Amino acid sequence: MNALANRAFTKMNGLGNEIVVVDMRASPAAIAASETRAAAAAVAFDQMMALYPPRTPETDAYVRIYNNDGSESGACGNGMRCIAALVCAGTGKEAVSFETSAGLSICQKAGPELFTVDIGTPRFRWDEIPLGEPFADTRAIELQLGPIDAPVLHSPCVANVGNPHAIFWVGDVAAHDLAAIGPLLENHPVFPQRANISLAAVASREHIFVRTWERGAGLTRACGSAACAAAVCGARTGRTGRKVRVTLPGGDLRVEWREADDHVLMTGPVEFEFAGRFDPVLSAAGAA
């Protein structure tokens, strides 16, 4: 039996990052990669957020995050805001907490349709990201694309904020064909678990522009974890302060790398699109 067949879902987005939410807490069932791909063929999404019964006391749900290619992710900042909005609306709470494979995340209502997500503490050691070989300094690793004497991109800053990210600093994020470059770098041998590939341009110490090729999902209008990774990498390399506005193709996020406890806080909007139900016989050619 397909775990998603005839299952109710909610379609939402965070700055154009397309999210589908399925609540599995009342009747948990494992979702196979093939089922996720079939669901994505029925209802286009970047990530599917599946809520399961809590594993840790006083959390609201255990969340599994599925990319549209069937792979799993440990973090999705835009998706966390979406499920926070749904759970807060259903319970009347102002703050909720979720657990993922990357750890605990607290989400706080910050205004009408606006939520702040505590992404947790970023990791920078090469084997925590992870990378395929040791690098003493992950603020600029030895990786380039193109001729050795005139590389197209080079020396990314890398970090893990629930999933691996590589941030390439450029003058103009629109000046590169990220749809062509992204898959090559996502699957580069230096990233054994693949990586999210972002282009970042600094407008000021308080403002950066970011475009992302998302691991397992492709080009996206907004990637919350990439915005956080870019903000952290900007501060690590001295390009920005610890509080920045991150402009993505879908809009703006506010990111703070809090000095007191090293946690990364991301604030942004959510949008409800529609509720639906997957086809009782869900297949790659099915519909919702």
Per-residue model confidence (pLDDT) at position 131: 98
Of the candidates 185, 191, 180, which has an alpha carbon nearest to the alpha carbon of residue 144? Answer: 185
Among the residues of the chain, which ranges form H helices? 33-42, 77-91, 178-186, 224-236
Do 138 and 127 touch, CB atoms closer than 8 A?
no
Count other C-beta atoms under 10 Å from residue 28's C-beta: 12
Q: Does the annotation mark 76 as catalytic?
A: yes
Q: What is the mean pLDDT of the chain?
A: 95
Residue that is written with structure tokens 């990364």 in the block: 264
Q: Which domains does the chain have, with CATH numbers?
A: 8-120+270-277 (3.10.310.10), 144-262 (3.10.310.10)
> Would you say residue 288 has pLDDT above 90?
no
The answer to whether residue 59 scores a pLDDT higher than 70 is yes
Q: Which tens digit of pLDDT belongs to each residue from 240-275?
A: 999 999 999 999 999 999 999 999 999 999 999 999
Given the residues 76, 107, 157, 233, select the one marked as catalytic.
76
From the candidates 88, 107, 157, 223, which is the catalytic residue?
223
Instruction: Kindly report the pTM of this predicted structure.
Output: 0.93
If you ran DSSP here, which 8-state letter would residue 53 be given?
A: -
Residue, of 23 and 149, whose pLDDT is higher: 23
